[in-house]
Amino acid sequence: MAHKTSDALSHLSEAQLHSRRTELAGQFGEVASAVRGSLHRQARRCGKEGCRCARGELHGPYVYLSMRSGRRRGLVYIPSQLAEEVGRRVELTSRVEAALAEISAINLELLARGQLD
């Protein structure tokens, strides 16, 4: 079964494929700031006796970055003043990964034509 992206690329000329690949590769100026993961908001109990959270009024919400390292998953606390910026960096990572997937599909199409340069 042919890949959907491959089918969409098969009608493009080699020059168009090269141009699209260059366009995709050039759209991300600062990939060094990319952060893989997803942001989650959680409310917490502190565990202190008599605290309002013991009655159900939880603390927070706090922002955490959920990430995977190999088979392990982890959460990293994100201070509220950094949450928006970290969110932008997580979104950048998603866009970069989507562009890399398309670049790979273009390269596979070029390879199938014997034109991988």
Is a pLDDT exceeding 70 seen at residue 2? no
At 5 the pLDDT is 54
At 51 the pLDDT is 92
At 6 the pLDDT is 62
Is a pLDDT exceeding 50 seen at residue 1? no
Q: What is the CA radius of gyration of the chain?
A: 22
At 64 the pLDDT is 95
The stretch 53-77 carries a mean pLDDT of 89
Cα→Cα distances 54→36, 44, 46, 58, Å:
34, 10, 8, 8
At 30 the pLDDT is 78
